[in-house]
Amino acid sequence: MDAGPSEVPPKPRAGGVGGRPREPPRGGRARGPGEDYASSVMDNPVPPRAAAPGPRRRDRHGRGMRGPIAPPQVPLAASRAEVFADLVQDSVERLERRWAQLADIDFLILEVPRLDGPGGGWGEDSVPLGGTIAAREGHPARVVVYRRPIEIRTKGRDERAALVHEVVVEQVAELLGLTPETVDPRYGED
């Protein structure tokens, strides 16, 4: 007998196409007979996501997260304000060896000078790099060094250190009523 168009093709063997065993769907479990994919997926308990995600262990490209370039105690990680404060501190320590009365003076660092503060009458063409506040009852004398104007006027660390020292010497000389050369004999030298 010829196989005509009315014949039904043979059923595949139990297990899968071409006699191969049926493989479970990826990431899931094998389905039993009479069990469709949707019900097998719906029966699998899925752990709920945490409300707040934990720290990311990897970046989006599959590599580990980047850490800090340098540890915090390394000077590379010091901010510009911290480096500037170190320059002022070095300058003050250099002068305190010669002038013991500087221990009674407060040295402050401000970002920029205030227009309404002491010495606020500065002109349009010049911005003060430092200032002094005389001692008052209950308050010691103060030397103020302005960070941003000094940083803008200097290019490198050595130049900045020299300008900071000049400003500190000038302000201390003003408070003590002396000339800058008396406060620091190397004043004005390169």
The pLDDT score that the predictor gives to residue 172 is: 96
105 in any annotated domain: yes
pLDDT tens, residue by residue, 128-153: 999 999 999 999 999 999 999 999 99
How many Cβ atoms are within 10 Å of 92's Cβ, its own excluded? 20
**Distances in whole angstroms, Cα of residue 111 to Cα of each of 3, 139, 153:** 97, 22, 14
Q: What is the CATH number of the domain that holds 159?
A: 3.30.2010.20
171 in any annotated domain: yes
- pTM for the whole structure: 0.61
Low-confidence ranges of the chain (pLDDT < 50): none
* Paired tokens of 167: 């400003």
29 in any annotated domain: no
Q: Give every CB contact of residue 99 below 8 A, 6+ residues apart in sequence.
A: 172, 176, 183
Domain limits for position 99: 75-117+126-183
The domain total for the chain is 1
Taking every pair of Cα atoms in the chain, the longest distance, rounded to a whole number of angstroms, is 128
The pLDDT score that the predictor gives to residue 30 is: 58
8 in any annotated domain: no
Q: What angle do CA 90, 96, 97 make, to 5 degrees?
A: 100
174 in any annotated domain: yes
Nearest to 173 by CA among 186, 183, 185: 183
Cα–Cα distance, 182 to 16 (Å, whole number) = 101
6 in any annotated domain: no
* Paired tokens of 26: 């990826």
Question: How many angstroms from the chain centroid is the CA of residue 131?
Answer: 30
